[in-house]
A and B are shown apart, each in its own frame.
Chain A
């Protein structure tokens, strides 16, 4: 049990298929004491605060063609027009036109854009959080090239400042800020679980080395739910002869500050890892099988740090592809047909789509790509913090049907992914639908297939 600063009690539910806090009896989807006007004002000001040329170019260019709806799993699965991606920005679009656009004075003078109300923002909380995984598929269909996903993230900054974040997402983000983990992984818990894995898998795990070339970080989802990932990573790095370590002062890869829309927390969470890496003189921070961690550190870490990071950042799939290509590690052939679910933030949004395919080539499996997979893959439906939100469950299950159809079409023997958050979403939906496929870990497949003597 932990008591939130915002005044509600939340208990982690670590037994369920997906990890979050337990379903709240009473929901607190509004945080802080503010008048309605203050909330609206804060949402708009903080939206406008990060407003730069990029967001303005996007919001000014929309021609209302509606094509983004056809790329969005929420619209495609439900047919409900409110899930049209650009509609999710509507109050913020109005605010932009009124407050910051080139013709703002004109809109205000003639009262052409109504002021946004708190009721609208509360309604939009569902659209900006429960029904957007920030997967960026819509960004690829837009004929104007508008990156709608980045606008949703910007809108979430305003929503956080206005205290309008879904209860569970706010709770886990706050735990991450205070405790260093969204799922209750303290330094002691982390060290204990590493020790357990060390015994269980008879693998040497390095903890808190003072100097190391590689700092390895993990997501709390893995630490709590898929701890074998930690052993798999250690086994591979040992086989590759790397100088590496876990650090108890910087182990958490997830960034719920980013997902919830709190830039200050996002910075704090990134800085824990960055500081630990700098302290040990790391040349590489190795990110785990976690999609948004890649976005947070690989593509936003330097911007949180305020200068280029003094080390490289790789997703574990990129590291594995490099290590296999260079012969640092070798794997036995695996005789089966597989399909792969690309995590949005690593592949489509992050640019590392090739890495898993190179790994599969080394494994000699028969890779059956998902129809419209790879960069155009349907999101699992659990990204962007959505999987934590209980009231979003029904919708998430509905959306997952697209994923099931996609996977079933391949008739592959096994399904792999390289994101623990995707995997827990698959687990949860698998149990909901009594589905045959389980999303397994690509990292663990490599670790299990390692030719240790050949390395």
Chain B
């Protein structure tokens, strides 16, 4: 078994198992803690409707906070959209997903994906610089923040290198790229990257409680 076979086979498979098991464990670990009944008389229905409302509405910034958060939100959204586009609209990725799920969708030209990838890495660097220099972010950041940054951007960076080659064999570069994805998948459930699913829990919790009160969400 060469490196590419290992990356494509056992490494990726194992990382997906870890991702699934870790994520389920983390969600259950939170969901199975005690939850106390709320006996106050609701002003309006909260519950699932309230949860869904805030899951959706918190994607937008209130006018009062626009100025203060403009820079980091613009970078944050660009990073997320960049990741989404490069993961789901690169033709070889679509073929990979087709192999697993049996469905496919149209992709973007390789040059467009490359461009988006470069932007994504650039934005990630800007976010890293911000984290390392802004007094608030410096204070509250820990290992998880920096390592999560690293494992998120690594697959993008290793993907961008593939067409450039730098004299390295294509198979080796591809294997490194896939291994970096495996690292991301393994790290995700144990780290802040779990916000990919925890965002629904925290926004939903607030929505259920505060919408019930008719309070501002």
Contact = CB atoms under 8 A, between A and B. Distances in A.
Nearest to A83: B136
A426 B180 CA distance: 57
Contacts of A300: 40
Interface in B28-66: 28-41, 43, 54-55, 58, 62-65
A66 B140 contact: yes
A66 B216 contact: no
A233 interface: no
A206 interface: no
Q: How large is the interface on B (under 10, 10 to 19, 20 to 34, 35 or more residues)?
A: 35 or more
Given A75-B136, A351-B215, A57 B39 contact: no
B202 A53 contact: no
A138 to B, nearest CB: 10
A143 B80 CA distance: 13
A58 B205 contact: yes
A351 B212 CA distance: 9
Contacts of B164: none
Interface in B181-217: 190, 192, 194-195, 198-199, 201-207, 209-210, 213-217
Given A57-B201, A144-B202, A64 B40 contact: no
Nearest to B44: A351
Nearest to B37: A303
B55 to A, nearest CB: 8
A327 interface: no
Interface in B1-45: 25-26, 28-41, 43
B203 A145 contact: yes
B76 interface: yes
B40 A302 contact: yes
Contacts of A376: 62, 64-65, 216
A61 B201 contact: yes
Most buried by B among A87, A101, A143: A143
B41 A308 contact: yes
Contact of B139 (A82, A103, A139, A306): A82
Nearest to B134: A66
B214 to A, nearest CB: 3
The 10 A-B residue pairs whose C-beta atoms are closest, nearest first, are A102-B29, A351-B214, A302-B39, A145-B203, A375-B216, A70-B68, A61-B202, A376-B64, A66-B136, A372-B64
Interface of B: 25-26, 28-41, 43, 54-55, 58, 62-65, 68-69, 72-73, 76, 134-142, 144-145, 190, 192, 194-195, 198-199, 201-207, 209-210, 213-217
28 contacts: A52-B33, A53-B33, A53-B34, A57-B202, A60-B198, A60-B202, A64-B140, A65-B72, A67-B65, A81-B135, A87-B140, A102-B26, A102-B29, A139-B206, A140-B65, A141-B62, A141-B69, A142-B58, A144-B203, A145-B55, A146-B202, A146-B206, A299-B213, A302-B38, A309-B39, A349-B213, A351-B210, A353-B216
